[in-house]
Structure 1
Amino acid sequence: MATRATLHTLVLDALLQVSRDNNADGNDALVPAVAPIAVARAFELWNQQSSSILRLLPPELMAECFGWFDDIDWYCDLRAVTATSRRFRAIALSAPALWARIAAEDFRHGLKAIALMLERSMHAPLQIGFPSYTWSASEEVEVDTFLTRNIYRAHTISICSSRHLDQILRTFTPILRRLRVHWLPTRLLVRQSDWAPQLQHIELHGPFEVPIPRNPFRFLTHFLGYMEWHGVISDARRLFQLCPQLESMLLFEITRDTLPLLPVGPVPASLLSLELSCPHYRPGNTDDCDLSTFASMWHGRHLRNFQLNCARALLILLQHLHSLRLRPLSLDVDRGDRLARVVVDNGVEYSVALRENESLDSSDWDLIAPYLCDLTTLTTLDLPCVLSAALSLPSLQEIIWDTTWGGFEPVLEHARMPVPRLHTLRILTRAFGDSDLELSARHLPDMVLDHLLIDGQRNKVPRIVILDETMEYVRSIEWMRFMRGTRALYVGEELLWEEP
Structure 2
Amino acid sequence: MTLSNQQRDALYSYVASLFTESVNDRRDASAVDALASDIASVTHKALGDAVEAWNRTACSAMCRLPMELLAHSFSWLNLTDRAKVTAVSRYFRSVALGDPSLWAQIELDQKTPHLMITDTLALLLERSGRVPLDVHIYPQNEDVAALLAPHISRIRTLILDKTHDTSWILAPTQDISWIFEQPAPILELVKVPPVRHLQTVLPLPAWAPLLRRLELPSTFVLPVSSSGHFDRVTYFSGWMTTDFAADTDASRLFNVFPSLKILQLSFTKRYTSVDYLPNTRVPSTLEEITLHDDGDGLNIPALLALWHGHSFRVVNLHSIYTPLAMSALEHMRSVASGPWRLDLLVEEKECELRTQDEAVYKVNCYDRYAGFHEVRGFLGTLGSIVAPASVFLHQLTELFNMPSLRSVTLYGAFPWTFEEWEVFDGVLCVPQLQALRLEPAHHAEERWQAGELQDCSRYTEELFRRFTLENGSELPKVPRLVFSEVARPYVGEEYWAWIYQRASSVYIEDELLWQEETDN
What TM-score do you get using the length of structure 1 for normalisation?
A: 0.73
- CA separation of 1:90 and 1:471: change in aligned 2, threshold 3 A: closer
- CA separation of 1:417 and 1:83: change in aligned 2, threshold 3 A: same
For 2:227, what is the secondary structure of its paired residue? coil
How much has 1:194 moved relative to structure 2? 6.4
Distance 2:155 2:475 in 1: 75
Which of 247, 270, 277 aligns to 2:285? It is 270
- 2:373 match: 363
Q: Do structure 1's residue 378 and structure 2's residue 385 form an aligned pair? A: yes
Q: Do structure 1's residue 248 and structure 2's residue 262 form an aligned pair? A: yes
Distance 1:214 1:106 in 2: 46
2:287–2:314 CA contact under 8 A, matched in 1: yes
What is the identity, as a one-letter code, of the residue corresponding to 2:293?
Answer: C
Q: Do structure 1's residue 176 and structure 2's residue 187 form an aligned pair? A: yes
How much has 1:416 moved relative to structure 2? 4.5
- CA separation of 1:487 and 1:119: change in aligned 2, threshold 3 A: closer
- CA separation of 1:158 and 1:438: change in aligned 2, threshold 3 A: closer
Bigger mean CA offset, 31-40 vs 428-437: 31-40
How much has 1:235 moved relative to structure 2? 1.0
How much has 1:445 moved relative to structure 2? 2.5
How much has 1:250 moved relative to structure 2? 1.3
Distance 1:406 1:47 in 2: 70
- Give the 5 Å matches for 1:28-427: 33-34=42-43, 37-38=46-47, 41-42=50-51, 45-46=54-55, 49=58, 59-60=67-68, 62-68=70-76, 70=78, 74=79, 77-103=81-107, 108-109=115-116, 114-128=121-135, 144=146, 146=147, 149-159=150-160, 161=170, 163-193=174-204, 196-198=207-209, 199-210=211-222, 212-218=224-230, 219-230=232-243, 232=245, 234-237=247-250, 238-253=252-267, 257-258=271-272, 260=274, 261-279=276-294, 285-286=295-296, 288-289=297-298, 291-310=300-319, 312-325=323-336, 327-328=338-339, 330-341=341-352, 344-346=355-357, 348=358, 350=360, 352-372=362-382, 375=383, 377-381=384-388, 382-384=391-393, 385-388=395-398, 390-394=400-404, 396=406, 398-402=407-411, 404=413, 409-410=420-421, 412=424, 416-420=428-432, 422-427=433-438
For 1:438, what is the secondary structure of its paired residue? helix
Distance 1:361 1:112 in 2: 53
2:198–2:219 CA contact under 8 A, matched in 1: yes
Distance 1:163 1:200 in 2: 25
Distance 1:458 1:221 in 2: 51
How much has 1:417 moved relative to structure 2? 0.3
What is the identity, as a one-letter code, of the residue corresponding to 2:127?
Answer: R
What is the identity, as a one-letter code, of the residue corresponding to 2:234?
Answer: T
Distance 2:458 2:119 in 1: 76
How much has 1:405 moved relative to structure 2? 5.6
For 1:165, what is the secondary structure of its paired residue? coil
Distance 2:380 2:188 in 1: 46
RMSD: 4.6
2:339–2:356 CA contact under 8 A, matched in 1: yes
How much has 1:44 moved relative to structure 2? 6.7
How much has 1:333 moved relative to structure 2? 2.7
Distance 1:325 1:126 in 2: 45
Between Structure 1 and Structure 2, how many residues are aligned? Answer: 466
- CA separation of 1:64 and 1:296: change in aligned 2, threshold 3 A: farther
1:47–1:84 CA contact under 8 A, matched in 2: no
Distance 1:440 1:129 in 2: 50
How much has 1:366 moved relative to structure 2? 1.6
1:188–1:209 CA contact under 8 A, matched in 2: yes
- CA separation of 1:47 and 1:399: change in aligned 2, threshold 3 A: farther
- CA separation of 1:236 and 1:495: change in aligned 2, threshold 3 A: same
Q: What is the identity percentage for the equivalent residue pairs of Structure 1 and Structure 2? A: 22
Distance 2:194 2:278 in 1: 22
Which of 442, 462, 486 aligns to 1:431? It is 442
1:387–1:417 CA contact under 8 A, matched in 2: no
Distance 2:515 2:502 in 1: 12
How much has 1:265 moved relative to structure 2? 1.8
Which of 478, 487, 506 aligns to 1:461? It is 478
What is the identity, as a one-letter code, of the residue corresponding to 1:204?
Answer: L
Distance 2:413 2:99 in 1: 58
- CA separation of 1:103 and 1:429: change in aligned 2, threshold 3 A: closer
For 1:163, what is the secondary structure of its paired residue? coil
- 1:479 match: 496
Tell me the alpha carbon deviations over residues 140-166 of structure 1, each in whole angstroms, 9 at most, x when there is no partner: 6x974x566444443344446463423
- CA separation of 1:62 and 1:412: change in aligned 2, threshold 3 A: same
Unaligned runs of 5+ in 1: 280-284
Distance 1:40 1:92 in 2: 19
Tell me the alpha carbon deviations over residues 397-454 of structure 1, each in whole angstroms, 9 at most, x when there is no partner: x32212616657436555640324x333222233334343223333432332234328
Distance 1:65 1:367 in 2: 62
What TM-score do you get using the length of structure 2 for normalisation?
A: 0.71
Tell me the alpha carbon deviations over residues 222-268 of structure 1, each in whole angstroms, 9 at most, x when there is no partner: 22123344565641423333333433211234655146343232223
2:220–2:248 CA contact under 8 A, matched in 1: yes
1:334–1:380 CA contact under 8 A, matched in 2: yes
2:202–2:220 CA contact under 8 A, matched in 1: no
What is the identity, as a one-letter code, of the residue corresponding to 2:260?
Answer: L
Distance 2:62 2:312 in 1: 44
Tell me the alpha carbon deviations over residues 175-233 of structure 1, each in whole angstroms, 9 at most, x when there is no partner: 43333322424131323316724243322233434464442443433221233445656
Tell me the alpha carbon deviations over residues 90-126 of structure 1, each in whole angstroms, 9 at most, x when there is no partner: 3322322333445555984476665544443332234
- CA separation of 1:244 and 1:400: change in aligned 2, threshold 3 A: closer
Tell me the alpha carbon deviations over residues 271-326 of structure 1, each in whole angstroms, 9 at most, x when there is no partner: 333222233xxxxx35x436244234444444454333345555555555544446
Bigger mean CA offset, 184-193 vs 451-460: 451-460
Bigger mean CA offset, 427-436 vs 298-307: 298-307
- CA separation of 1:445 and 1:245: change in aligned 2, threshold 3 A: closer
Distance 1:405 1:241 in 2: 52
Distance 1:57 1:97 in 2: 18
What is the identity, as a one-letter code, of the residue corresponding to 2:254?
Answer: F
